[in-house]
Amino acid sequence: MTQIVEGDRRLAIEEAAARVIADPANSRVAAGLLAEEIADEAAAHGVRSFSGSIAATHAAGLIQDGLAEFVAAHAAELDALVSDAADERFEYFGLRTVYDRYLLRHPVTRTVLERPQHFFLRVACGLSETVAEAAELYRLMATLSYLPSSPTLFNAGARRPQLSSCFLLDSPRDELEAIYDRYAQVARLSKYAGGIGISWTRVRSRGSLIRGTNGHSNGIVPWLRTLDASVAAVNQGGRRKGAACVYLETWHADIEEFLELRDNTGEDTRRTHNLNLANWVPDEFMRRVEAGEDWSLFDPKDVPDLPDLHGEAFTRAYRAYEAEGRHTRRIPARTLYGRMMRTLAQTGNGWMTFKDTANRTSNQTARPENVIHLSNLCTEILEVTSDAETAVCNLGSVNLAAHLDGRDGLDWERLRATVRTAVRFLDRTIDLGFYPTPEAGAANRRWRPIGLGVMGLADVFFALRLPFDSPRALELSTRIAEEIALAAYDTSADLAAERGRHPSYDDTRAAAGVLHPDHYAAAASPRWDALREKIAATGLRNSLMIAIAPTATIASIAGCYECIEPQVSNVFKRETLSGEFLQVNRYLVADLRERGLWTQATRDGLKRADGSVQHLPGIPDDLKLLYRTAWELPQKALIDLAAARQPYVDQGQSLNLFMAAPTIGKLSSMYAYAWKQGLKTTYYLRSRPATRIAQTTVQPAAAVEQVACSLENPDVCEACQ
Amino acid sequence: MLLDPGMDLTLRPMRYPDFYERYRAAIRNTWTVEEVDLHSDVADLARMTAQERHLINRLVAFFATGDSIVANNLVLNLYQHVNAPEARLYLSRQLFEEAVHVQFYLTLLDTYLPDPDERVKAFAAIEHIPSIRDKAEFCFRWIDSIGDLRSLENAGDRRRFLLNLICFAACIEGLFFYGAFAYVYWFRSRGLLSGLATGTNWVFRDESMHMEFAFSVVDTVRAEEPELFDEELGEQVGRMLEEAVAAELAFARDLCGDGMPGMSAEQMRAYLEYVADQRLVRLGMPRRYGTENPFAFMELQDVQELANFFERRVSAYQVAVEGNVSFDENF
């Protein structure tokens, strides 16, 4: 009997979840049922309270003794903090994500040993020294105001608390042993749920002489094939697949083969299907593209110091080596740039990240020997690396949607308070974390970088009715970034006064009185002057503080739009390891409901138009403007928002760009603009499939009638060009 | 006219640019079997119930031969009679896609069935398993139905050809395959067999285009020779679809047995009737069943995907891009 009831509830959950388009309230219905299901599952293990869940997970060997002792000593106080009513804030997809991936499970039965609120409080306790601290962080998480990154959510309080999201490894030295040593480091870092960025710029190119054997090198591709296989083999605790991004500087002689690594045609022995690819582009290259000049490609063996130079010094050395004839080949810079654009269009990969901008503005690069050699898996982390130091970053993001003041703006005071707490806990993770390699531990303790980001910017714009490309949106977005940076720097200065500066503080630009906004003329203000004075006295606890990460999973948990991104569609499907989930823009639905327009015909029309409201009959113009999708917004606006925010983002931004039907001409204009606007990095180029499935659950348009407008098939539709 | 006998070779002026655009769009969506990662499926298979295992084995056995049958009809019948070079370009491309599908299902079968004897049995299913044999016989009967036609000389010939074309689009690609895809998405909705689902997404996309191409051939013929579409033809299409629904339903009974939570032969009947109605509407014919779609999870397949790249390969990229480097285009 109970089995039938449980089966029925599961079906009811799936039914409700699949019907969110008809009524977004079904998402909460499904979430409510799932919360009951989870509570029953935990109760089957005797778990009825937070302290009970800690006892059960400790008995199962999943958490540290220290955490269990802390909770046992404060059981009554901590149990009283738990608010199960907070579960009502979850959308179905968020709760389902928590249930499938984050709740601790019994090693044998695989059923859960804790409820969602127990999980939040466990993470909070895992990062806290006192009940008061735990209460503060728990409150932010329970209200979905701030969430630490996934590795912290997975591992806080665990036996091996690997809390960091990203690792950045310098290129292996150009020798066999160094390369194999890097594979081992990558595997160890990947095992504990870290995303990997790794440069390959120092490794000699194809045709280079190998003195020891008097043979010739096959270049970087075979090595990257091995890296590809190694990364794919590491399954991060069964929770997600390992992932890595390889960076290559634009002058490396194997650059063209590198750009083909993700093609799905050609010789498979020269392809890497799992690696992500990024271009680490010097300014000199972009200048030559603009001027229509030639570009020289070098074997790193012939120019061993180029990877460690940037800015003027790089340009000087590059030109000198060219003049000496050290290059292996010369090609028109535009030809290579065109190939880079083609790779972006065909694979979404081959991200454009800008070496000189990143180094020029970084707090860590005051001394010439400290160089940023690459960004990370998601292009938001920019930290110095060397053979002996693997850069690490601990991340967390503020949910801006949870900081609306209920009237017409943001609750700035609460936003600042959230940032202060977030920075303290991010700083804490540096000391509590387990580092899979000594190179990572050494770097993180010396530089103590953190990466505080945001999510839900699109929610804020919808709630305040600001089109993404409006001047007020730009102004608000920039103010948000500045407020967050001010509060973060201020907190780090306080932490420095309490606990000391980070050990390499004297090697930073801040030690010389230069803060990140000082690199941008537009960003000067008295508020920063005051802060600069304070920092002159206290120093900083952290060398870097702000990074806009993609927040794919934690935005799902929080039920908001990802980081700084516009919506991709008013109706879309999320595919994750735990299944497929339908999402609908609830702001749009509320607006259409209010105007009596949320009908079956509108819903079918919306699906048929792939989530666009632009050509639906009867939709008023103000709603059409507000509810444009990423495909319908000018990408210039996205770049302008990012550029205006950049002074207050001392690391990078995972900025996706969207183009339904990319051409080389449009892409080359767009990325040249991004570089000129001073962006440090960009991320995926998102495009759309050239063909699509026939929809099964929408009434078909009748015979012979032509589809009037289809973004999917732009060649037959002039209206969309 | 499109069905006039002959071997037209003239691309300029182009009579049917829409067919040529379909050909180009298909090329932009090239995918390869090597991109599909099946490794997590093997772990899923290990924890399935005997009933689910049975369903999957039968499904794989159907997939093993399904696309080869479609390719045969294309070569034996369609290519010969659709007399426009741009349409034949599309058909050539479709033939390649059918080959990729065959390769995908072969790889799937080799992965899912490690025992060589099981693999042989899967290919033999078309002879030994009644529910699969009946579907295959339905297909063969329609392939053979115009085997004697060397050219479409008169209205009778052309109607026979149209029935073959509509059968493969509406009944085989548009119903048998759609039924099979529904099982895959049912597993997927429960977080299972994501590798199969990835490949299926791509196969599904291709099959949808094949079906749409066939329907636009029908539309073109209807515009050129409206008199071919008489009541008799409509009746024949209706009967053909009924027969296809019955064959697919027998397959569903074999696969589902007494049913599982969220998937049963009765639900599949409703789904097939719903899909059959959609094919009729697309052909400008009245609905026959008036049944609602019972599978909420199929609603998921109709909307844009937003893959979390950490977890799944994004399937949305295009293969051919054009243009030259420039700095003043709008973006």
Question: Smallest CA–CA separation between A700 and chain B, in Å?
Answer: 6
A130 shares its domain with A204: no
A134 shares its domain with A252: no
The answer to the question of residue B273 being in a domain is: yes
Would you call A380 a catalytic residue per the annotation?
A: yes
Kindly report, residue by residue over A265-289, the tens digit of the pLDDT: 667 778 888 899 999 999 999 999 9
Chosen domain end from A320, A335, A365:
A365
Question: Smallest CA–CA separation between A113 and chain B, in Å?
Answer: 21
Domain of residue A112, residue span: 1-142
- Across the interface, of A17, A664, A691, the residue whose CB is closest to B26 is A691
For residue B222, the chain A residues in CB contact (below 8 A) are: 703-704
Given the residues A155, A359, A370, A376, the one annotated as active site: A376
User: Which residue in chain B is spatially nearest to A238 when comparing CA positions?
Assistant: B40
User: Which residue in chain A is spatially nearest to B279 when comparing CA positions?
Assistant: A700
- The whole-number pLDDT of residue A590 equals 94
In this structure, what DSSP letter does residue B263 have? B
The answer to the question of residue A81 being in a domain is: yes
Nearest to A489 by CA among A456, A527, A523, A457: A527
The answer to the question of residue A541 being in a domain is: no
The answer to the question of residue B1 being in a domain is: no
- Across the interface, of B27, B281, B316, the residue whose CB is closest to A687 is B316
If pLDDT is split at 50, 70 and 90, which confidence band does B298 have?
confident
A131 shares its domain with A182: no
Given the residues A284, A380, A483, A562, the one annotated as active site: A380
A235-236/A240-241 β-pairing: antiparallel
Report chain B's mean pLDDT, rounded to a whole number. 90
CB within 8 Å: A579 and B191? yes
A239 shares its domain with A120: no
Nearest to A380 by CA among A345, A353, A360: A353
The answer to the question of residue B313 being in a domain is: no
The answer to the question of residue B295 being in a domain is: yes
Structure-token match 């601290």, residue found: A133
The answer to the question of residue B328 being in a domain is: no
* Token output for B101: 């599908």
The neighbouring-strand residues paired with A330 are A296
A553 touches chain B (CB under 8 A): yes
The answer to the question of residue A405 being in a domain is: no
CB within 8 Å: A666 and B325? no
Of residues B301 and A402, the one with the higher pLDDT is A402
Kindly report, residue by residue over B74-108, the tens digit of the pLDDT: 999 999 999 999 999 999 999 999 999 999 999 99
- The whole-number pLDDT of residue A16 equals 86
The neighbouring-strand residues paired with A353 are A280, A681
In this structure, what DSSP letter does residue A566 have? P
Chosen domain end from A336, A365, A394:
A365
A116 shares its domain with A249: no
The answer to the question of residue B189 being in a domain is: yes
A68 shares its domain with A120: yes
A244 shares its domain with A119: no
Given the residues B23, B90, B105, B183, the one annotated as active site: B105
- The whole-number pLDDT of residue A236 equals 56
The answer to the question of residue A474 being in a domain is: no
Distance of CA A335 to the CA centre of its chain: 31
Nearest to A258 by CA among A350, A352, A375: A350
CB within 8 Å: A577 and B212? no
A180 shares its domain with A317: yes
A208 shares its domain with A319: yes
- The whole-number pLDDT of residue A660 equals 87
The answer to the question of residue A351 being in a domain is: yes
Rounded Cα distance between A160 and A195, Å, is 17
Domain of residue B35, residue span: 19-301
Would you call A125 a catalytic residue per the annotation?
A: no
Sites in chain A below the pLDDT cut of 70: 1-6, 193, 235-241, 265-266, 575-579, 690-721
The one-letter amino acid code at B275 reads V
The structure's pTM equals 0.81
Contact between residue A343 and residue A278 where contact means Cβ atoms under 8 Å apart = no
Strand segments (E) across A57-193 = 146-148, 166-169
Question: Smallest CA–CA separation between B263 and chain A, in Å?
Answer: 11
A189 shares its domain with A266: yes
A360 shares its domain with A289: yes
CB within 8 Å: A580 and B188? yes
B108: which residues sit within 8 A by CB, 6+ positions away? Answer: B38, B60, B63, B196, B199
A181 shares its domain with A106: no
> Which CATH number characterizes residue B293's domain?
1.10.620.20
Structural domain total, chain A: 2
- The whole-number pLDDT of residue B284 equals 92
Contact between residue A509 and residue A447 where contact means Cβ atoms under 8 Å apart = no
A391-399/A450-455 β-pairing: parallel
Chosen domain end from A303, A336, A365:
A365
A339 touches chain B (CB under 8 A): no
Given the residues A166, A245, A378, A393, the one annotated as active site: A378
The answer to the question of residue B6 being in a domain is: no
- The whole-number pLDDT of residue B309 equals 40
DSSP output for A1-32: -HHHHHHHHHHHHHHHHHTTTT-THHHHHHHH
- The whole-number pLDDT of residue A719 equals 26
Q: In a 10 Å sphere around its CB, with 0-12 CB exposed, 13-18 middle and 19+ buried, how is residue B258 labelled?
A: exposed
Rounded Cα distance between A114 and A58, Å, is 11
If pLDDT is split at 50, 70 and 90, which confidence band does B189 have?
confident
The answer to the question of residue B308 being in a domain is: no
Question: Smallest CA–CA separation between A542 and chain B, in Å?
Answer: 28
Is the pLDDT score of B49 beyond 60? yes
The answer to the question of residue A25 being in a domain is: yes
Helix (H, G, I), strand (E, B) or coil at A256: helix
Structure-token match 């008295």, residue found: A526
> Which CATH number characterizes residue A241's domain?
3.20.70.20
- Across the interface, of B206, B278, B305, the residue whose CB is closest to A575 is B305
Contact between residue A311 and residue A293 where contact means Cβ atoms under 8 Å apart = no
Contact between residue A691 and residue B29 where contact means Cβ atoms under 8 Å apart = yes
CB within 8 Å: B296 and A14? yes
Rounded Cα distance between A247 and A323, Å, is 26
The answer to the question of residue A408 being in a domain is: no
Instruction: Show the DSSP H helices in chain B as ranges.
Output: 17-28, 39-46, 50-73, 79-81, 85-112, 116-128, 130-144, 155-166, 177-189, 194-224, 231-256, 265-282, 296-299
A30: which residues sit within 8 A by CB, 6+ positions away? Answer: A13, A14, A16, A17, A20, A92
CB within 8 Å: A195 and B310? yes
Structural domain total, chain B: 1
- Across the interface, of B34, B261, B299, the residue whose CB is closest to A697 is B299
The answer to the question of residue A508 being in a domain is: no
Nearest to A568 by CA among A494, A501, A630: A630
